[in-house]
Amino acid sequence: MQTFGYAAQSAGVPLAPFTFQRRALRANDVAMEILYCGVCHSDLHQARNDWGASRYPMVPGHEIVGRVTAVGPEVKQYKVGDSVAVGCMVDSCQVCDQCRKGEEQMCREHNTQTYNGLDRITREVTYGGYSKHLVVREEFVLRVPEGLELAKAAPLLCAGITTYSPLRTWNVGPGSRVGVIGLGGLGHMAVKLAVGMGAKVTVLSRSADKRADALALGADALLVSSDPQAMARAQSNFDLIIDTIPVRHDVSPYMPLLDIDCTLVIVGQVGPIDEQLTLPMLLGRRRLAGSPIGGIAQTQEMLDFCARKNILPDCEMIAMQDINQAFERMERADVRYRFVIDMASLGNGA
Ligand code: NAP
Ligand code: ZN
């Protein structure tokens, strides 16, 4: 099937209209018309080849909400017209220990990324959600629960699950003291989700500019990370800190903020961080960890949790044609708090 969207033809060039083919439906495939796609900071990293493994042309986008238009003969759970979603992965081996326990993101043979991945059968490069249509095997399709607003649900598929997963891994619940570093797409979801789980949440931001927003999102406080006195007063205050900073940085100033035996989990920077002071880790048996997205079952659990608790991202709707400006604004942290592309803006052709 011919479809269209926006692609980067190489690193450092703006995204531009692009026409391409989606595969013919396999027996277990679901075809969908994409209605909305969130703009993740990873899309910007990947389009610019920040991680050194980009394939071009690249159609980014892994926060996808759409409506089913066709299903293969073996598809059991979805029918034409259903509201569905797709996140950061579209396939995995399905047989390794990790896949079998629902941790497809940890697949021993690597999951297939929604874009910039390689199809497991044809070895063709996968193209993501900045486009009009998508074909995905049934096992990697999520159901958008009734009551979750379609136009706002898209960012849950990456920003949502990437922050929900560590909150679950480290058993956040009523009374947990959670710190969130960086109030952007991931950060604001971490706040809403942790508050939804009953935690006491503090945002750690570079300035006080986002204080009112942090409180409106449900946080108890905003701590200015560039203020050494405020940081010193917050020592041993947290059970879990989620670090969403998208660039190389120093985690050492944040480690003493953890209580004994507690964990700082990096979900943001992919790549090196600054040299790390070990003393706060040794003295407090504190841990530095990382966490990716969650598995399919946990992603569905997160969507259902958000529907039940009425948790939705704060979105700024844009047209596909505005994507390059949105990337620039995201890089300046000038988005409150997630751009979402309305695919109706693509019209009937690229
Ligand atoms: P975002 O919307 O741009 O938010 C990042 C936030 O970090 C900003 O709002 C800002 O918060 C802070 N920040 C930005 N530049 C900074 C700098 N130079 N120094 C210190 N703080 C800075 O990005 P996002 O979409 O949330 O993504 C964040 C990172 O997570 C990206 O690197 C992305 O690739 C990664 N990611 C990882 C996974 C995973 O599987 N682990 C999944 C999705 C995304 P303040 O203004 O409050 O300081
Ligand atoms: Zn993402």
Asked if residue 99 has pLDDT above 80, the reply is yes
What are the angstrom distances between the C-alpha of 174 and each of 81, 126, 308? 38, 41, 17
Which residues in 191-227 are b (16+ Cβ under 10 Å) and which e?
A: bbbbbbbebbbbbbbeeeebbebbeebbbebbbbbee
Separation between Cα atoms, residue 82 and residue 101, nearest integer Å: 27
pTM of the model: 0.97
Best substitution site from 162, 245, 254, 302 to test ligand 1's pocket, by max atoms within 8 Å of Cβ? 245
Q: Which atom of ligand 1 is nearest to the CA of 186?
A: 26
What are the angstrom distances between the C-alpha of 256 and each of 48, 66, 69, 263? 34, 44, 52, 11
How many other CB atoms are there within 10 angstroms of residue 284's CB atom?
Answer: 17
Q: Is 251 in the pocket of ligand 1 (CB under 6 A)?
A: no
Q: Which ligand lies nearest the alpha carbon of 293?
A: 1
pLDDT digits (tens, 9 = 90+) for 22-56: 999 999 999 999 999 999 999 999 999 999 999 99
Asked if residue 230 has pLDDT above 60, the reply is yes
Q: Is 45 in the pocket of ligand 1 (CB under 6 A)?
A: yes
Question: Would you state the pLDDT for residue 321?
Answer: 97
Question: Would you state the pLDDT for residue 270?
Answer: 92
Per-chain mean pLDDT for the chain: 97
Mean pLDDT across the stretch 309-337? 97
Q: Is 246 in the pocket of ligand 1 (CB under 6 A)?
A: yes
Burial (CB count <10 Å: 0-12, 13-18, 19+), residue 329: middle
Question: Would you state the pLDDT for residue 349?
Answer: 73
Model confidence at 76, pLDDT cuts 50, 70, 90, reads very high
Model confidence at 348, pLDDT cuts 50, 70, 90, reads confident
Q: Is 112 in the pocket of ligand 1 (CB under 6 A)?
A: no
Question: Would you state the pLDDT for residue 229?
Answer: 97
Q: Is 245 in the pocket of ligand 1 (CB under 6 A)?
A: yes
Place of tokens 């709707």: 317
Q: Which ligand lies nearest the alpha carbon of 157?
A: 2
**Nearest C-alpha to atom 1 of ligand 1 is from which residue?**
184
Q: Name the amino acid, one letter, at 335.
A: V
Q: Is 184 in the pocket of ligand 1 (CB under 6 A)?
A: yes
Asked if residue 350 has pLDDT above 90, the reply is no
Share of the chain above pLDDT 70, in %: 100
Query: Ligand 1 mean position to 292 CA, how many Å?
Result: 14
Question: Would you state the pLDDT for residue 163?
Answer: 98
Compute the chain's Rg from CA coordinates: 20
Query: Ligand 2 mean position to 45 CA, how many Å?
Result: 10
Query: Ligand 1 mean position to 112 CA, how many Å?
Result: 23
Question: Would you state the pLDDT for residue 156?
Answer: 98
Best substitution site from 37, 39, 41 to test ligand 1's pocket, by max atoms within 8 Å of Cβ? 41
pLDDT digits (tens, 9 = 90+) for 134-167: 999 999 999 999 999 999 999 999 999 999 999 9
Asked if residue 108 has pLDDT above 90, the reply is yes
Mean pLDDT across the stretch 233-245? 98
Domains of the chain: 2-158+313-347 (3.90.180.10), 159-290 (3.40.50.720)
Is 201 within 8 Å of 219 (Cβ atoms)?
yes
Question: Would you state the pLDDT for residue 187?
Answer: 98
Separation between Cα atoms, residue 36 and residue 91, nearest integer Å: 21
pLDDT digits (tens, 9 = 90+) for 259-268: 999 999 999 9
Question: Would you state the pLDDT for residue 234?
Answer: 98
Model confidence at 174, pLDDT cuts 50, 70, 90, reads very high
